[in-house]
A and B are shown apart, each in its own frame.
Chain A
Amino acid sequence: SQTIHQWPATLVQPVGSPLSLECTVEGTSNPNLYWYRQAAGRGLQLLFYSVGIGQISSEVPQNLSASRPQDRQFILSSKKLLLSDSGFYLCAWSPRQSNYGYTFGSGTRLTVV
């Protein structure tokens, strides 16, 4: 069966510090991968999606970036965090060429102080 791992679960970082969140999927190949952010009182905002290694599409211009160095690994990064980057970051995956929705990881709650 397929599983998605996301870490860390919680993170408190000072303004201006770097960020790296990692997500890995097991039990499948060639998944579509997604990063979302859910800020307090707001909906899920699509940040990045990837349909293959090295293929990253950005939905929202900001100080975040994403990379997919391996087929089942998706990394969200920032060089300098802003207060507005605080939120609940969720990684998700779906099978390639599938339209049955996707499965989320357990999320990372990031607080920028």
Chain B
Amino acid sequence: QKEVEQNSGPLSVPEGAIASLNCTYSDRGSQSFFWYRQYSGKSPELIMFIYSNGDKEDGRFTAQLNKASQYVSLLIRDSQPSDSATYLCAVTLSNSGYALNFGKGTSLLVTP
């Protein structure tokens, strides 16, 4: 069974702080890694993807990947109340037409 593990939270951070979200995965064949944001009652939306070890920055978001440790993280700088949502980590499934295996998500609450 290929697993993607996330802490369910809730993770509570004050407005303006850095939120750190973590994810581990079991399938060493996974090549691509994604972070989605899902507001309550809505469908997930893609925030970032990362393929190579190291950091990738996009605005207030930074994704970090360590394939040796099978670990992916997402940092959100200057967190805003509008960032309050569930963040889903996803990794590609080997030999499945680029299908993604999702973690259960971490709930983030940014307090004013």
- Which stretch from B14-22, B69-77, B98-106 is at the chain A interface? B98-106
Given A43-B105, A44-B88: A101 and B100 interface contact (C-beta under 8 Å): yes
Rounded to whole Å, the gap between the CB of B10 and the closest CB of chain A is 14
Size category, A interface? 20 to 34
Choose among B46, B51, B97, B103 the residue that contacts A103 (Cβ–Cβ < 8 A).
B46
A49 with B97: CB separation less than 8 A: yes
Q: Is A99 an interface residue (CB 8 A)?
A: yes
Rounded to whole Å, the gap between the CB of B25 and the closest CB of chain A is 13
Size category, B interface? 20 to 34
A51 with B97: CB separation less than 8 A: yes
Q: Is B82 an interface residue (CB 8 A)?
A: no
Choose among B32, B34, B99 the residue that contacts A34 (Cβ–Cβ < 8 A).
B99
Contact with B along A85-113 (1 / 0, CB 8 A): 00000100010001111111111000000
Residue of A nearest to B90 (CB): A101
A99 with B101: CB separation less than 8 A: no
CB-CB under 8 A from A104, the residues of chain B are 43-45
CB-CB under 8 A from B93, the residues of chain A are 46
13 A-B pairs within 8 Å (CB atoms) are namely A32-B99, A36-B102, A42-B104, A43-B104, A98-B98, A100-B49, A101-B34, A101-B49, A101-B90, A102-B100, A104-B44, A104-B45, A106-B42
Rounded to whole Å, the gap between the CB of A103 and the closest CB of chain B is 7
Rounded to whole Å, the gap between the CB of A80 and the closest CB of chain B is 27
Cα(A100)–Cα(B98), bound, Å: 9
Rounded to whole Å, the gap between the CB of A88 and the closest CB of chain B is 8
For chain A residues 49-84, which have a beta carbon within 8 Å of chain B?
49-51, 57, 59
CB-CB under 8 A from A34, the residues of chain B are 99
